[in-house]
Amino acid sequence: MEQWEQLLWAIYSHEIKLKELYQAFALRFRTQATFWAQIAQEEHEHAELVTRLRKKIEAGTLVFNPSTLKPQAVEASIARADALIKKCGQGQLDLAQALGHALDLEQSMLERSFFRCLSYPQEGCQSVGVILQEQTRQHITSIRNKLAEVKHA
């Protein structure tokens, strides 16, 4: 598997794992199920964007944008989300903790520049990286606001 394939597969898998995490949070925290389900749906949409990008690269209509991001960094974040899914299933997280972990996962994607390799300035192609960065920022804001709401309740 080539570098771009490994990296895109890792990013795709990360988006799917976050979707699964947020679905687990929706089941565990029923009063906030709509909030978590919305973010889970958006993570699914992110994974679909990565899939469409992969298909364009395979078809030769886009050239992979090399990145310093290694698949192992993404895989470490996937492992963390997987561990949180297990803790959630065992009832070991309260809502504030779940929100805090979700906030940290979302922020770390921006800090580690997960989406830099998905930025394509080519004419006629809206940058998947820019879209995912913006939507991740929106997730951070939503989660941060929900966390503040929970802490002040």
Reported as a pLDDT band with limits 50, 70 and 90, residue 128 is confident
**Is 1 a residue whose pLDDT tops 90?**
no
- Spell out the residues 6+ positions from residue 39 whose beta carbon is closer than 8 angstroms to its own: 22, 102, 139, 142, 143
Reported as a pLDDT band with limits 50, 70 and 90, residue 2 is confident
* For residues 36-58, average pLDDT: 93
Convert the pLDDT of each residue in 77-103 to its tens digit.
999 999 999 999 999 999 999 999 999
Residue 62 confidence (pLDDT): 74
Could you please report the per-residue DSSP string of 56-106? Answer: HHHHTSS-----S--HHHHHHHHHHHHHHHHHHHTT---HHHHHHHHHHHH
Residue 102 confidence (pLDDT): 98
**Average per-residue pLDDT in the chain?**
90
**Residue 114 DSSP class:** T
Contact 10, 69 (CB under 8 A): no
**Is 147 a residue whose pLDDT tops 90?**
yes
